[in-house]
């Protein structure tokens, strides 16, 4: 083989070497399909081309190479997403059978309507589905004007309209000190103590993400009416009950329950959500300077957990202000003695100053709803502080109740003994007082924990089957589906207003991938709850109704006994209306809520400030004011009203937050 300048003397010297095979070297020509021959032949052809032709070809090659690289990259992405999707599908499919196996008789397979993300909770956590009625985009374009809106205003504008204040110094102040978009102005130099290093290192208020830190959201006229109602209620509280538990608006005084500023704490996150900066700031100062838990006072474990601990935790998450977490940790620790019982089922009452706990004087029983509706708060406190003792205590209660006998198709009795740990007063089943939030917290703990705790889901699904089997009936004449009660095998057509939490909870479950018939049931039940208002003379629901099972001339579906005709400004129907509107976008739910707000204004508003419970929802000319504004009117009722009238799904996004039973939003833990 020879390699070198084979054509010395040739005018074209732009090649360097040629390799000759033995035949060619020997002058043997003809067709030869060997690789070497083909290479040589191409090379000759290439040499015969003009410089221009070669440049064009080289350019084409270069162009094709660039195209190749681009399409390879995008193919890679496509391939990656296909692979991920199939992995996700596999994971989902693995989890479905696990649920089925856990309780084949009760748990229906999660609906797989179109295999979209909505059907699979794990996926929807990452990228929540958007209700069709919500438009995204710049904040002032996101919200469709409700029918009666004449114009939309920003939250900031709204405050202006309500307050009629000069903005100049407010703006300046805001620019100097605001740390977050929704409501509160927190001066940096005002921050109470330096954040407890342990707490702050362990856990940050997780859901305050950049996505949430957006422009003030425009609010509409109905929301503005809620803001006005809140400010009126707050005026009464501030003028006559500041720092006390509840306002007595008629006597212009207050009542104490625990002596811990219950209304103020319950209302903190509502002020934040409504954008009431000044009110929030003032209340924060009271928390920083005057809220003291080292007090010789008996508090109810459940009530102080859902209102105080829950309120402080959610305010911490919304504001990012460590003051609230410090206070939450303090009250959490002071409530722990309640769990020192023979059965670990907590006592109902704790002295938060002395560190002692006890059951009510007349019994050693606790209420089932109370011991099973403190979990969201204590679990979150453990997550934030890194101290497992809070979570262990409440998880133990749930495990124990899960394993107990005495349930009826998932329905639980109303009492549990703190010595034996057994249910007592067997045979009575209700979704109302003393059992209600047990069911609510089964679902909500499951959601909070990233939908991994199957026992909670099993108990929830079984209970809803129990409701369907034993407690559902239809009334006459309107055939309203309602949830009655069962006492030793006898059905009672009695329904507490408290039961109206259920449509919202069912809708939340369906949104998280549970059975689609739960949503159907939610739709029929919320209609019933609305009728509990609409069929009454004041348009306000009584505490308890009895439904007519038989058609009688001149009788409505709803009957009210004299002892039950009071209204305590409760939130449950408005709460469910909020969930129903969020998940369906059906404006009728907003309209129903609007009617209710107007009737609260008509019959319960006290001109000098505040709202009052009333004794008689059947007497519009004299509803008999009771002279008490419950803390949940500000903590829950008005908050849910405001959210119901909003079209912004990011205003407490239900794929990021779960509300405790006192309407305090807590973060859904991001799945590991």
The reply to whether 571 sits near ligand DMJ by the rule CB under 6 A is: yes
Q: Which residues pair with 546 in a beta bridge?
A: 494, 559
Q: Which of 345, 661, 666, 667 binds ligand DMJ (CB under 6 A)?
A: 661
Q: Report how far apart, in Å, the C-alpha atoms of 140 and of each of 40, 135, 268, 274 are.
A: 70, 11, 26, 17
Nearer to ligand DMJ, 124 or 304 (CB): 304
Number of residues that bind ligand DMJ (CB under 6 A): 8
Least distance from ligand DMJ to the Cβ atom of residue 639, Å: 11
Nearer to ligand DMJ, 246 or 662 (CB): 662
Nearer to ligand DMJ, 124 or 660 (CB): 660
Residue 296's CB: how many other CB atoms inside 10 A? Answer: 8
Least distance from ligand DMJ to the Cβ atom of residue 87, Å: 40
DSSP track, 154-206: -HHHHHHHHH----HHHHHHHHHHB-SSSS-B--GGG--SPPPHHHHHH---T
Q: Give, as ranges, the residues between 628 and 647 that touch ligand DMJ (CB under 6 A).
A: 632, 636
Residue 95's CB: how many other CB atoms inside 10 A? Answer: 17
The two tokens of residue 88 are 């996700």
Nearer to ligand DMJ, 435 or 649 (CB): 435
Q: Rounded to an integer, what distance in angstroms lies between the CA atom of residue 357 and that of residue 364?
A: 12
Q: Report how far apart, in Å, the C-alpha atoms of 163 and of each of 44, 186, 277, 378 are.
A: 90, 20, 11, 38
661 belongs to an annotated ligand binding site? yes
Q: φ and ψ at 491, to 5 degrees?
A: -80, 135
The two tokens of residue 40 are 């040589």
Nearer to ligand DMJ, 367 or 646 (CB): 367
Least distance from ligand DMJ to the Cβ atom of residue 352, Å: 19
Q: Which of 511, 570, 628, 656 binds ligand DMJ (CB under 6 A)?
A: 570
The reply to whether 258 sits near ligand DMJ by the rule CB under 6 A is: no
Q: Rounded to an integer, what distance in angstroms lies between the CA atom of residue 479 and that of residue 11?
A: 104
Least distance from ligand DMJ to the Cβ atom of residue 573, Å: 10
Q: Rounded to an integer, what distance in angstroms lies between the CA atom of residue 336 and that of residue 672?
A: 28
Nearer to ligand DMJ, 432 or 625 (CB): 432
Least distance from ligand DMJ to the Cβ atom of residue 604, Å: 15
Nearer to ligand DMJ, 437 or 531 (CB): 437
Residue 294's CB: how many other CB atoms inside 10 A? Answer: 9
Residue 499 and residue 483 in contact, taking contact as beta carbons nearer than 8 Å: yes
Contacts of 597 (CB under 8 A, 6+ apart): 222, 225, 226, 229, 641
Task: Tell me the residue nearest to ligand DMJ as measured from the CB.
Answer: 661
The reply to whether 662 sits near ligand DMJ by the rule CB under 6 A is: yes
Least distance from ligand DMJ to the Cβ atom of residue 275, Å: 23
Q: Is the peptide bond before 485 cis (omega within 30 degrees of 0)?
A: no
What stretch of H or E contains 2?
none
Q: Which residues are catalytic?
A: 303, 436, 543, 572
Q: Rounded to an integer, what distance in angstroms lies between the CA atom of residue 104 and that of residue 121?
A: 20
The two tokens of residue 263 are 């209304």
Least distance from ligand DMJ to the Cβ atom of residue 501, Å: 7
Q: Give, as ranges, the residues between 427 and 456 that touch ligand DMJ (CB under 6 A).
A: 437
Residue 266 and residue 637 in contact, taking contact as beta carbons nearer than 8 Å: no
Q: Work out the burial of residue 198: count CB atoms within 10 Å of its CB; fewer than 13 is exposed, 13-18 middle, 19 or more buried.
A: exposed
Output the known binding site.
Answer: 661
Residues that bind ligand DMJ (CB under 6 A): 437, 498, 570-571, 632, 636, 661-662
Output the known binding site for Ca(2+).
Answer: 661
């Amino acid at each position: 083989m020879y390699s070198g300048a084979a054509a010395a003397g040739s005018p074209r010297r732009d090649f360097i070497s040629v390799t000759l095979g033995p035949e060619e070297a020997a002058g043997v020509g003809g067709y030869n399909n060997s690789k070497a021959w083909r290479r040589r032949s191409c090379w000759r052809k290439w040499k015969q081309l003009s410089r221009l032709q070669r440049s064009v070809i080289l350019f084409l090659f270069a162009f094709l190479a660039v195209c190749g690289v681009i399409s390879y990259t995008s193919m890679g992405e496509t391939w990656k997403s296909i692979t991920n999707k199939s992995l996700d599908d596999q994971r989902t499919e693995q989890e479905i059978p696990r649920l089925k196996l856990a309780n084949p008789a009760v748990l229906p397979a999660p609906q797989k309507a179109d295999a979209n993300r909505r059907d699979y909770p794990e996926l929807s956590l990452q990228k929540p589905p958007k209700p069709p009625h919500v438009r995204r985009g710049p904040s002032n374009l996101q919200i469709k004007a409700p029918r009666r809106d004449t114009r939309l205003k920003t939250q900031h504008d709204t405050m202006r309209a309500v307050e009629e204040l000069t903005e100049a110094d407010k703006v300046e102040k805001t620019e100097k000190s605001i740390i977050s978009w929704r409501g509160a102005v927190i001066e940096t130099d005002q921050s109470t103590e330096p954040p407890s290093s342990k707490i702050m290192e362990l856990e940050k208020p997780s859901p305050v993400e950049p996505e949430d830190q957006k422009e003030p959201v425009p609010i509409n006229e109905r929301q503005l009416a809620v803001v006005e109602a809140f400010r009126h209620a707050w005026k009464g509280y501030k003028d006559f009950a500041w720092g006390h538990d509840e306002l007595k608006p008629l006597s212009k005084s207050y009542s104490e329950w625990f002596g811990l500023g219950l209304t103020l704490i319950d209302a903190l996150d509502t002020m934040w959500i409504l954008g009431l900066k000044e009110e929030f700031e003032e209340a924060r100062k009271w928390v920083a300077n005057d809220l003291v838990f080292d007090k010789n006072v008996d508090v109810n474990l459940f009530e102080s957990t859902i209102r105080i601990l829950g309120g402080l935790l959610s305010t911490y998450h919304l504001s990012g202000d460590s003051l609230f977490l410090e206070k939450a940790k303090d009250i959490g620790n002071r409530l722990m003695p309640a769990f020192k019982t023979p059965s670990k089922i907590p006592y109902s009452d704790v002295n938060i100053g002395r560190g002692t706990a006890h059951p009510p004087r007349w019994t050693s029983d606790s209420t089932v709803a109370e011991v099973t509706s403190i979990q969201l708060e204590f679990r979150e406190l453990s997550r934030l502080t890194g101290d497992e003792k809070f979570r262990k205590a409440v998880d133990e209660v749930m495990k124990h109740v899960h394993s107990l006998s005495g349930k009826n198709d998932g329905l639980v009795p109303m009492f549990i003994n703190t010595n034996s740990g057994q249910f007592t007063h067997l045979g009575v089943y209700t979704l109302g007082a003393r059992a209600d939030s047990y069911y609510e917290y089964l679902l909500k703990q499951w959601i909070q924990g990233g939908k991994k705790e199957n026992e909670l889901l099993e108990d929830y699904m079984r209970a809803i089957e129990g409701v369907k089997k034993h407690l559902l009936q239809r009334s006459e004449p309107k055939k309203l589906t309602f949830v009655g009660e069962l006492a030793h095998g006898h059905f009672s057509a009695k329904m507490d207003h408290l039961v109206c939490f259920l449509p919202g909870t069912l809708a939340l479950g369906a949104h998280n991938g549970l059975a689609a018939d739960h949503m159907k049931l939610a739709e029929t039940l919320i209609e019933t709850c609305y009728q509990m208002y609409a069929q009454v003379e004041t348009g306000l629901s009584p505490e308890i109704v009895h439904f007519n099972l038989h058609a009688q001339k001149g009788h409505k579906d709803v009957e009210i006994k004299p002892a039950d005709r009071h209204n305590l400004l409760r939130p449950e129907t408005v709460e469910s209306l909020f969930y129903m509107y969020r998940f369906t976008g059906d404006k009728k739910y907003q309209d129903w809520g609007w009617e209710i707000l107007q009737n609260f204004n008509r019959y319960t508003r006290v001109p000098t400030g505040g709202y009052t419970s009333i004794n008689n929802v059947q007497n519009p000319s004299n509803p008999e004011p009771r002279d008490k504004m419950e803390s949940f009117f500000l903590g829950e009722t008005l908050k849910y009203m405001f959210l119901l009238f909003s079209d912004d799904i990011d205003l407490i996004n239900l794929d990021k937050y779960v509300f405790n039973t006192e309407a305090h939003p807590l973060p859904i833990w991001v799945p590991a």
